[in-house]
C-alpha cells in the first residue's frame, strides 16, 4: 500500500506514513469527526481576539491556514476579519 499524500510505500497496518507523517487511510478504517479537524473553537476564538487588537496575527495565520484543507474555511473567515481590522486600525491611526 502507498501513502496517498507522498507516495511512499507503507505497511498495511500503519497508522501514519513514515515519509510525511500524515494519517494513512487503511481499507476498512473509519474516520471520525474528532481528531485533527483543523483549528478548535478555542483556537479560533483566540486568533480572532488577537486579530482584533493586532491584525497581522490574522493575516499570518489566515494565509498559513489557507494552505491546509482542514483549516481553509476558518482561515478565510480569519483573513476577512484581519483585512477589516487592518482598515479600521488604519482609519483610527490616520484619523479618518
- Summarised one tens digit per residue, pLDDT across range 39-58 is 888 999 999 999 999 999 99
Averaged confidence pLDDT in the chain:
83
pLDDT value, residue 52: 92
In angstroms, how far is the first alpha carbon of the chain from the final one? 61
The grid coordinates of residue 63 equal 494565509
Beta bridge partners of 16: 23
Amino acid at each position: 500500500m502507498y501513502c496517498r499524500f507522498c507516495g511512499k510505500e507503507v505497511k498495511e497496518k500503519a497508522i501514519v506514513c513514515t515519509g510525511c507523517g500524515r494519517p494513512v487511510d487503511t481499507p476498512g478504517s473509519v474516520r471520525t469527526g474528532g481528531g485533527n479537524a483543523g483549528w478548535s473553537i478555542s483556537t479560533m476564538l483566540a486568533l480572532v481576539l488577537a486579530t482584533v487588537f493586532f491584525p497581522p496575527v490574522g493575516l499570518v495565520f489566515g494565509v498559513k491556514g489557507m494552505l491546509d484543507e482542514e483549516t481553509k474555511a476558518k482561515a478565510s473567515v480569519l483573513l476577512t476579519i484581519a483585512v477589516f481590522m487592518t482598515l479600521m486600525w488604519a482609519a483610527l491611526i490616520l484619523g479618518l
